[in-house]
Amino acid sequence: MERENAWKKYDEAALSELEELSRRYKGFLDSGKTERECADFAVKAAEERGYISLESAVAAGKKLEPGAKLYSSPMGKTIMLFIIGKQPLEKGINIVGAHIDSPRIDLKQNPLYEDSDLVYLDTHYYGGIKKYQWVTLPLALHGVVVKKDGTKINVVVGEDDADPVLCISDLLIHLSQEQMQKKAAEVIGGEDLNLIIGGRPIISEDDKEKEPVKANILNILKEKYGFEEEDFLSAEIEIVPAGRARDLGLDRSMILGYGHDDRVCAFAEMEAIFGIEGVPERTCCCLFADKEEIGSVGATGMQAHYFENAFAELMALTGDYCDLKLRRGLAASKMLSCDVSAGYDPNFGSAFEKKNAAFLGRGVCFNKYTGSRGKSGSNDANAEYMAEVRRIMDDANVSFQTAELGRVDLGGGGTIAYICALYCMNVIDSGVAVLSMHAPWEIISKADLYEAMKGYKAFLLNA
């Protein structure tokens, strides 16, 4: 059951649409290197298309009619986009849900220190990374600093051509005999991911400054960025690769970028719901979650109740709320848990079972189950739902493939699917194949992005 490469079916019109979608996606990646930035991007795009905030609709007691478009962005790190359909919410809604957090390095709360005439920021990595991949790269700072008076300062350093970049150093090969004997997981330790941010001392008249390089950096932070060392205590600053997403390959068939996992699915979802015209039969929802890379925990992770709460608010605004109807509506909903899949890499073919692997360029992936070793932690969609999804994709001429995440006894992974399935709704994992997943720079095929967008739109309209 080998699937055909999707590139073979495109005419000139489809290729033009694919390239334009890819151009917009690269802009999304460049603008959204953190979950806050992705949510801000989506809110702005939604408002430009006539969406109103759910919170303002609740405050005004607005009666929602079919065709109403709303968004909600809890804590500015998640977002839900809704188009109210013709059918009552008690009959369920169609959901495409992804996550917008990506593996990275975060600053500790007390990060700044000087050592041997160099100034560093101390860090803590976020999500599953190979730590050695993050050294000797140009890195950027993205995030917010919130002062005690509530003033919020947005921080982006390292992206503009006029900006400096930052870096984590590595040991030179000439002195690496002992380092090279270590396992890959131990070559660079978590406490070794210290970011170099300065090396020039402040010049003072009395020359009595104990930490002159740190003093100089503190002056720069205060004068240029408007905050002081203590303000790091209430900051969320992420360290990400500096630079833009780029076309990859002489044929420009792929995109190299930071955060394909899982922003490629989030972007495809967003484009899908924005592409819906008229009033759909069932209410449509595009959902961006946070914290998936660390277990979907916390107030903005999928285990929180913001989606259920939003569903309840929608029911109230349509004049049809009660707890039993809410439960019925959640159970009758259908969802694609949109998260990336491991693309088959011939360089590491032994890690995959080739008949059940995802290949770049062969369309959007469906993972009936994820989990690891014995399907532990898996959602495992039922056969009836898989058949329905196949029908929807085929009717819309969407190229799709099925996949597992590597060999049975080797690895595995999880998504938000099992959490939403707790409502007893039908959920299946669906996403885009990625090479070098969780690396600072990942690879996807433009064709798979295009097919994912088409597939998610077809699902929203026809599930």
For residue 262, whether the previous peptide bond is cis, meaning omega lies within 30 degrees of 0, is yes
Residue 438 identity (one-letter amino acid)? H
Q: Do domains 6-102+258-462 and 104-241 have the same CATH topology?
A: no
**Residue ranges of E strands in 3-103:** 52-53, 69-72, 79-83, 94-99
- The pLDDT score that the predictor gives to residue 188 is 96
* pLDDT tens-digit readout, 60-91: 999 999 999 999 999 999 999 999 999 999 99
Q: Provide the CB-side half-sphere exposure for 405 (13 A, CA).
A: 25
Between 1.10.3080.10, 2.30.250.10, 3.30.70.1380, 1.25.50.10, what CATH number should domain 104-241 receive? 2.30.250.10
**Burial class (CB within 10 angstroms; exposed 0-12, middle 13-18, buried 19+) of 127:** middle
Q: What is the CATH number of domain 6-102+258-462?
A: 3.40.630.10
**Spatial contact of 431 and 417, defined as CB atoms under 8 Å apart:** no
Residue ranges of the chain with per-residue pLDDT less than 50: none
The 3-state DSSP class for residue 47 equals helix
Calculate the CA 196 to chain-centre distance.
27
Full-model pTM:
0.96
* pLDDT tens-digit readout, 202-261: 987 777 788 999 999 999 999 998 999 999 999 999 999 999 999 999 999 999 999 999
Helices within 252-339 (DSSP H only)? 260-274, 306-317, 323-331
Beta bridge partners of 167: 196
The domain spans of the chain are 6-102+258-462, 104-241
Per-residue exposure over 135-170, b if at least 16 CB sit within 10 Å of its own CB, e if not: bebebbbbbbbeeeeeeeeebebbbeeeeeebbbeb
